[in-house]
Amino acid sequence: MFHVLVADSISSVGLAPILESEDITVVQKKVDEVEDLTVFDAILVRSATKVTEDLIKQMPNLKIIGRAGVGVDNIDVEAATRHGVVVINAPNGNTVSTAEHTFAMMMALLRHIPQANASVKSGEWKRSQYLGTELYNKQLGIIGLGRIGSEIAKRAKAFGMNVLVFDPFLTKERAKKIGVNSCTLDELLQEADIITVHTPLTKETKGLLGRDNLAKTKQGVYLLNCARGGIIDEEALVEYLENGHVKGVALDVFEVEPPKNNKLLTYDQVIVTPHLGASTKEAQLSVASQVAEEVLKFLNGKPVSSSINLPTLTKEVYEKIQPFYKMAKKIGKLASQCMKEPVSDIEIVYEGSVSELETSFITKSFLSGFLSERIASTVNEVNAGIIAGERGINYSEKIATNRSGYENCISILVDGESSSFRVKATYIPHYGERIIEINGYDIDFYPTGELLYIQHIDKPGVIGRVGNKLGEHQINIATMQVGRKEAGGEAIMMLSLDKPLEQALIDDLLTMDDIVFVRNIHL
Ligand SMILES: NC(=O)c1ccc[n+]([C@@H]2O[C@H](COP(=O)([O-])OP(=O)(O)OC[C@H]3O[C@@H](n4cnc5c(N)ncnc54)[C@H](O)[C@@H]3O)[C@@H](O)[C@H]2O)c1
Ligand SMILES: O=C(O)CC[C@@H](O)C(=O)O
């Protein structure tokens, strides 16, 4: 018998396939109401239950965690992976509901519906106080054009709005297909009358709309966040409401949920909902049935398609593949960080002994490393291929016909909108992973930690000036590798550092003579 704990309120109709299965017993209770957690093979949650490492440890039989929704911020995925527990989610089930909720918030905000509703119910009739603003002909700025952002764009166009989009990973082709104008973040901030955010919460998007960027927005701008609390910096937002620059705000999500002593709740021009984006009958039915079907597949030994952490490999295959699989993920992260622009094609060529393994998993591992730098953190080997396809990235793998002399070698070519990036790596047993070529320059370094990638002109003194500059800022260089094709031409440096550079120092390096390109890399 397979024991499932449904710890949050999840649609029973959607869960019917597991509730009706003779091989499964289902308990619908909160975690702290369950006497014996050790019997459960699966736990299904929404966002209320926090699946921490501690909880995972209390459930030694746990094999699968199901999240009836998109974000897995309430699940310690790393701990689950370490404990060999598969984590699945339902990435598409609530997209339309969240897009519709955002639209409902936008209209309520511009027509003062919550305020007017409260006023009439309190016996008032203040028609002139609630003069609204039309959506028609307004510039809507969408930050993040993924699943939900795209649905917002479609609806905005139907309302006669002009849609501007900032998404650093959006290709021109996809923007054209959806019919939106892709622009820089600064352009969006300067031109949009209404700005709505639809990115995951990552280190890049945390505080994305903070003091500096809010200062670039139009006087009287309206802001919406139905994605994740923290993308709009709440403290900065209070300042911009106080000084009247921001005219109105709609929030479904907060830095701390439920919000406690949050000053934003005291402003009349801020309208709020308690994280209701996905709260529709349809979305809840859809996410519940997606999760139930995946649990059934898992129980029957079939591959699950929405696993966000573990590949479905046998132990023997996994052991052989593991070094290449880990290395490919790092190369993916390296390539993605070196090339912060939309990409259309990725080619991976396997050479030597690695080409005899199940290379499709290594390719997916590369893609997951590459994509994880760009989209919500739920990308892994299982879903990377699908996500790459959705983002308009074509990828292919080949077996090399010519040998370069290495026992094994993986060569990757990433084609972007304005540049390409080529990288080669090999794995040497008992020695480790080595990057052996970048953009045609021979090099040899271990891909780990904080790295600094510099393209420069091969002239006496350049390396010394870089070393001095880092020294002035107390940045210790652990290792340094230099590669060039010919004396006096372009060359590259790869430095391994004890800490990353601040943006100001990168900008400073870029002003130095003979320095062409500088990029922090974190692996
Ligand atoms: N309020 C709710 O109830 C609710 C419901 C569902 C999803 N969500 C949240 O909505 C957000 C979007 O979900 P989704 O399913 O559309 O995700 P998605 O992964 O499909 O799309 C995210 C998009 O953000 C873009 N992006 C990443 N970093 C960026 C950056 N620095 N600047 C601009 N764009 C960037 C990505 O390229 C991608 O296109 C997530 O945070 C998700 O957790 C909230
Ligand atoms: O379970 C919910 O209602 C929240 C859903 C949403 O935040 C998600 O990430 O899918």
Of residues 100, 96, 106, the one with CA closest to residue 135:
106
The DSSP-derived string for 83-130 is TT-EEEE-SSTTHHHHHHHHHHHHHHHHTTHHHHHHHHHTT---GGGG
Dmax of the chain from CA atoms? 85
Residue 144 Cβ inside 6 Å of ligand 2? The answer reads no
Residue 145 Cβ inside 6 Å of ligand 1? The answer reads yes
Of residues 413, 363, 411, 371, the one with CA closest to residue 388:
371
Atom of ligand 1 nearest to the CA of 150: 16
Residue 116's DSSP bridge partners are none
pLDDT of amino acid 307: 84
Burial zone of 267 (CB within 10 Å; 0-12 exposed, 13-18 middle, 19+ buried) = middle
Note the CATH number of domain 1-91+279-309: 3.40.50.720
- Pull the structure tokens for residue 442: 């021979």
Element (H, E) at 39: none
Specify whether 228 is catalytic: yes
Burial zone of 496 (CB within 10 Å; 0-12 exposed, 13-18 middle, 19+ buried) = buried
Specify whether 275 is catalytic: yes
Nearest CA to ligand 1 atom 10: 227
| E strands present in 137-211 | 139-143, 162-166, 181-182, 194-197
pLDDT in tens, the chain (523 residues): 999 999 999 999 999 999 999 999 999 999 999 999 999 999 999 989 999 999 999 999 999 999 999 888 899 987 887 677 889 999 889 999 999 999 999 999 999 999 999 999 999 999 999 999 999 999 999 999 999 999 999 999 999 999 999 999 898 888 999 999 999 999 999 999 999 999 988 888 999 999 999 999 999 999 999 999 999 999 999 999 999 999 999 999 999 999 999 999 999 999 999 999 999 999 999 999 999 999 998 888 776 778 887 665 555 666 788 899 899 999 999 999 998 889 999 999 999 999 988 898 899 899 999 998 887 646 777 668 878 988 899 999 999 988 888 999 999 999 998 899 999 999 999 899 999 999 999 999 999 999 999 999 999 999 999 999 999 999 999 999 999 888 888 999 999 999 999 989 999 999 999 999 999 999 9
* Cβ atoms < 10 Å from Cβ of 119: 16
Question: Could you tell me which residues come within 8 angstroms of residue 102 by beta carbon, excluding any fewer than 6 positions away?
Answer: 148, 152, 196, 198, 224, 226, 252, 277
Residue 88's DSSP bridge partners are 66, 307
Element (H, E) at 43: strand 42-45
* Cβ atoms < 10 Å from Cβ of 229: 20
Ligand of minimum distance to the alpha carbon of 74: 2
Q: Three-class SS string for 344-361?
A: EEEEEEEEEHHHHCCHHH
Instruction: Report the DSSP pairing between strands 450-457 and 477-484.
Output: unpaired
Contact 509, 479 (CB under 8 A): no
Burial zone of 449 (CB within 10 Å; 0-12 exposed, 13-18 middle, 19+ buried) = middle
Of residues 71, 66, 63, the one with CA closest to residue 14:
66
Interval between CA 148 and ligand 1 midpoint (Å): 7
Q: From the candidates 100, 187, 191, 257, which is the catalytic residue?
A: 257
Atom of ligand 1 nearest to the CA of 204: 31
- Helix, strand, coil tally for the chain in percent (to 5): 35, 25, 40
Interval between CA 147 and ligand 1 midpoint (Å): 7
Residue 278 Cβ inside 6 Å of ligand 1? The answer reads yes
Contact 400, 353 (CB under 8 A): no
Nearest CA to ligand 1 atom 11: 227
Instruction: Report the DSSP pairing between strands 450-457 and 139-143.
Output: unpaired
Please state the ipTM of this predicted complex.
Answer: 0.99
Burial zone of 168 (CB within 10 Å; 0-12 exposed, 13-18 middle, 19+ buried) = middle
Ranges in the chain annotated CATH 3.40.50.720: 1-91+279-309, 95-272
pLDDT of amino acid 202: 83
Residue 201 Cβ inside 6 Å of ligand 2? The answer reads no
Residue 94 Cβ inside 6 Å of ligand 1? The answer reads yes
Q: From the candidates 228, 374, 391, 456, which is the catalytic residue?
A: 228
Read off the amino acid at residue 366: F
Alpha carbon distance 83, 437 (integer Å): 36
Q: Three-class SS string for 482-497?
A: EEECCCCCEEEEEEEE
Give the global pTM: 0.73
- Give domain 95-272's CATH architecture: 3-Layer(aba) Sandwich (3.40)
Report cis status (omega within 30 of 0) of the bond before 323.
Answer: no
